[in-house]
A and B are shown apart, each in its own frame.
Chain A
């Protein structure tokens, strides 16, 4: 029951900067997801909040309290690790009750809270088992149970689902979300999986090399990525990003999206493109619509035709691969039919849905 506040948080390992000057306020009850490629400093951030890693600079507040110099035990947080880290020599119920036993809670109350936790997580029949006698999913549940019995101010999750198989991962993802709705506690959740981030988060933080690239709701970061990195990191398949020249013909600005193919510059972006010779064009696969599927009755979109290199049918959709400026580009075809390799297909793009990024800074224009 507390907000977590990070001020100029920095972590250095010798010359390696793992986390750089991070500022972040996590309100009470928020489900915050830190996402980014491996090595970007997510775990380090989490471990500093937990008190397991010394901080090199900045401040961490939990509630109103400065916790920089507090031991993990005094921060009232619970952490769930990727490898679960269950106590192998204790039964499930001993694992769950351990924190309360250490806090010298009386046995009847421990029993009560453990019973409550096993009920929430459906572990009733496994109480007397040792971790070695549990499946991966059950271990994961015990790890979460152990975190919830002490009702911490904040839950810290470090890639808790990455050791599970795909099916179980989806299932546990839903359970974590439900658990959060039930417990109403601040959650800081680390993952490298953008799907997990999108589905779980109230707010996503995308990190790269120790820096925060963008903070926002899943929809915000998906619709308005601030740079090429975020644009290609969030969303699946990744956003198509094509390096293009900007061409001025008869005082009209065009983007040269392929050999002999000029796409008009989106009207709203014209002013900003005037001075750039080059630009990165980002188009999501679902925004390159095969014309045969188009619902755009007025045909306002810009049309082009390309021959298909490869078609991957996925059932609900078929992903069509072709090249623009020698770059592989994907389009999603939602009413799939059999596509021949080399077949020429007409596509349509709503110009207001394309993203433009500065050629030098890679920032959104």
Chain B
């Protein structure tokens, strides 16, 4: 816990002090001069002075949120289908999905780049969203399948004898019961997209689609590294993720233990 937190604290502190101080030796923990200079620089309204963090943040939010929503929707339907219906080749498809998940994303980056370039999807949010959806769907299917399996099938059956269609039974009974689990799956998918670097670095070029992790590299120039700026943008990245995690924390915990039984 301490070890994970320490760099985080350092990042936080460093985000609020001038670059010169960060590099000073011996390192001092508490800044002599607090400043929000880097933040004002990033988000300056009259044209960006350092790095267009606002655009990156916007891209990150759009890309992560959209891909998560799509991945969760598909995952939910897929997971439900795997949990409730028997169809031909079910086990093989499931295995295929898991294998797809096992392939390291980076190994796909070159073929993906070529393909996306041909399709004109390079440097578009849409292009990144598609990739993130593909990356997250096997995972969300696997998780939601587990959650739906936990719900006895009699739940939907009794709802159907109570006058529900399959869809109504799903909507009124099974979905509320699987809700926490699905929220947990959503968080995972979101964080995965939010923090993803390898593929985004290949597929994005400009402020039209660059996300925060990629944007961070703007502070790396040929000869200097703006540590303060990097830390500031890292804070911009971490804070929403932490807030989001706290909001759904309760669900996350119950969701994880709920699914934990199944493994």
Contact = CB atoms under 8 A, between A and B. Distances in A.
Interface of A: 50-52, 71-73, 75, 77-79, 81, 83, 85, 87-89, 98-99, 102-103, 146, 150, 156
Contact of A83 (B154, B159, B163, B172): B154
Nearest to A87: B173
B157 A150 contact: no
A81 B177 contact: no
A103 B154 CA distance: 20
B18 to A, nearest CB: 54
B159 to A, nearest CB: 8
Nearest to A103: B163
Contacts of B173: 87, 89
B156 to A, nearest CB: 9
Contacts of A156: 161
20 contacts: A50-B161, A51-B160, A71-B160, A72-B160, A72-B161, A73-B163, A73-B165, A75-B161, A78-B162, A79-B157, A81-B154, A81-B157, A85-B158, A88-B177, A89-B173, A102-B168, A102-B172, A146-B158, A150-B162, A150-B163
Interface in B133-159: 152, 154-155, 157-159
Given A71-B160, A73-B161, 6 more contacts: A71-B165, A87-B173, A98-B172, A99-B162, A99-B163, A156-B161
B202 interface: no
A99 B164 CA distance: 8
Q: Return the 7 tightest CB-CB contacts between A and B, nearest first.
A: A85-B154, A99-B162, A72-B160, A85-B158, A79-B161, A102-B163, A73-B163
A88 B150 CA distance: 13
Q: Which DSSP category, helix, strand, loop or mixed, fits chain B's interface?
A: helix
A113 B138 CA distance: 46
B176 interface: yes
B161 A78 contact: yes
A310 B178 CA distance: 56
A102 B164 contact: yes
A43 to B, nearest CB: 11
A85 B157 contact: yes
Contacts of B168: 102
Contacts of A146: 158, 162
B176 A89 contact: yes
A28 to B, nearest CB: 20
B172 A79 contact: no
Nearest to B160: A72
A361 B78 CA distance: 52
Contacts of B163: 73, 99, 102-103, 150
A44 B172 CA distance: 26
A52 B161 contact: yes
A87 B177 CA distance: 9
Given A102-B168, A102-B172, A87 B161 contact: no
Contacts of A77: 161
A34 B172 CA distance: 32
Contacts of A99: 162-163
Given A88-B177, A89-B176, A98 B161 contact: no
Contacts of A81: 154, 157-158
B162 A102 contact: yes
A87 B160 contact: no
